[in-house]
Structure 1
Amino acid sequence: MKKWVALFVAVLIIGTIFSGTLAEIKERGKLIIGTEPTFPPFEYVNEKNEIVGFDIDIAQKIADELGVELEIVNLPFDSLIPALMSDKIDLIVAGMTITEERAKVIDFSIPYFNANQAIVVRGNEGFMPATLEDLKGKRVAVQLGTTGDLVVSDIKEIMVTRFQKFTDAFLELQNKRVDAVVLDEAVANAYVKTFPKFVVSAIIDTGEKYGIGVKKGNTELLEFVNTVVSNLFKSPYDLLVEKWFEETK
């Protein structure tokens, strides 16, 4: 029995080691990425029920360079890292901030986007917080596991309500069950443009950098992703920024 158990464990380990390698991705003919598409303009569902956005274009470029199809898996944001670690996806491409805690369990590509946080409130009530400290004693909605969640959770006097999706956080704000939503600046601008009843009251300089998540130790895939991202910076990247972010200004 012990021998069979040992063999089973060995098979699992081998499967883990080789899962998601460049050779396996090319053999299966598709690159599988995980994302959470309520994060425009990075990833969202358009009127044709397609997942599109800045991040998706980058993922498509990686798939094209590999010569494979792109498969997108829609997951809750806080499920993305577990999915990557358990080989359900090859990459996380989801506007994910590079943090020390996350980097302990997954690897990140070189940064591809600089970001800050924003405070969004209802625009007709006179409450215009300029800092996170101004949210003390207030009810604030965030998306579970995001940087917005982390920064408001550091302030004990803030009453934090967490949701799987940003859309649910904004629904709470619309229904006056929370006083503000804290989320990434580019996404905040996109939502405010779509729903003029909301306004961005302040930008919080958090100095974040987004990276593409790769399973820990998958050096070959990480190096390939870094090469693609580096090459994007040389010209096409500027076109992607113009395509997805000019309209949110």
Structure 2
Amino acid sequence: MKYSLKSMLLLSCFGIGLAGMAHAQSETLDVVTDPSFVPFEMMDQESGEMVGFDMDIINEVAERAGFEINMRTMDFNGIIPAVQTGNVDIAIAGITITDERAKIVDFSSPYYDSGLRLLVNANDDSIESIEDLEGKTVATKIGSTSFDYLQENLGDSAEITPYPGSSDMYMALLGGSADAVFYDAPNVGYFSQTQGKGRAKTVGELYEGQQYGIVLVKGSEWVEPVNEALAAMKEDGTYDEIHTKWFGSPSGE
């Protein structure tokens, strides 16, 4: 069979295109998370695997976008620097989208609406708002937007103590080292209904409405595929199924 030069060039380009697609589909990306942000990410003690809302989201995104995951864990305060320097490709850990962070990393489209909330001991009726924290000791997490919010709104009027892990700040509250915890609402709410049930309670309003995004290296070629995967998940109901599994129906029904 004879082919014209034009046909041969087209076939060659087509073959290169297929090879490129196959390469992209089999590429393995380093993904990092913080293992203490339950129920978004936590270590399953039986399997030794990371599980949670974020883990279900990123696994589904990876399958649709066409990459494999090499999962790594680290303290939250090291995550943004790790992506910024290119030591990891992607991060997902209930990370709030902020203008400051967006200067050094890229964010996906928002995938979760959140905010900040207070947690106090179950028998404490003296704290109902941020204003009541003056003169108190407040536990939060290093590198978090809740830490930034406390510094901006309380300054030196309260003793703000940042901890490396979520469990550390909750134990500080229950152990009497802190009068309150101020942190991301879903994590605080989850603790109050699980390990802290009967011992701690959420109080006050939801502060500083926030949105979580998947973090990628600045200029990453994966931003668009990740966004397309998230959009498709919301369109076909997969996102709602994952949300319902961990938090109940997104509509509250």
Partner of 1:134: 132
Q: Number of residues paired by the alignment?
A: 224
Give deviations 1:191-212, integer Å, cap 9, x for gaps.
0111211110123231101111
8 Å CA contact 2:65–2:226 kept in 1: the answer is no
Paired with 1:245 and 1:118, the residues of 2 have a C-alpha distance of 17
1:43 to 41, 64, 71: 41
3-state DSSP of counterpart to 2:87: coil
8 Å CA contact 1:185–1:203 kept in 2: the answer is no
Partner of 1:93: 92
Structure 1 residues 125 and 143: alpha-carbon distance in aligned structure 2, compared to 1, 3 A threshold: same
RMSD over aligned Cα, in angstroms? 1.9
Partner of 1:31: 29
Letter in 2 for 1:136: E
Partner of 1:206: 208
TM-score (norm 1): 0.84
3-state DSSP of counterpart to 2:32: strand
Structure 1 residues 25 and 193: alpha-carbon distance in aligned structure 2, compared to 1, 3 A threshold: farther
Paired with 1:99 and 1:237, the residues of 2 have a C-alpha distance of 23
Paired with 1:187 and 1:140, the residues of 2 have a C-alpha distance of 16
3-state DSSP of counterpart to 2:248: helix
Structure 1 residue 66: Cα displacement = 4.1
* Structure 2 residue ranges without an equivalent (≥5): 1-20
Where do residues 3-22 of structure 1 align in structure 2 (5 Å cutoff)? none
3-state DSSP of counterpart to 2:222: helix
Paired with 1:237 and 1:174, the residues of 2 have a C-alpha distance of 34
After the TM superposition, which of the residue ranges 198-207 and 131-140 deviates more from structure 2? 198-207
Structure 1 residues 152 and 23: alpha-carbon distance in aligned structure 2, compared to 1, 3 A threshold: farther
Structure 1 residue 147: Cα displacement = 1.5
Letter in 2 for 1:114: D
Letter in 2 for 1:53: G
8 Å CA contact 1:120–1:199 kept in 2: the answer is yes
8 Å CA contact 1:30–1:63 kept in 2: the answer is no
8 Å CA contact 1:140–1:161 kept in 2: the answer is yes
Give deviations 1:192-241, integer Å, cap 9, x for gaps.
111211110123231101111111111x2101111011111111011111
3-state DSSP of counterpart to 2:203: strand
Give deviations 1:58-94, integer Å, cap 9, x for gaps.
1101221244432211111111111112222111111
TM-score (norm 2): 0.83
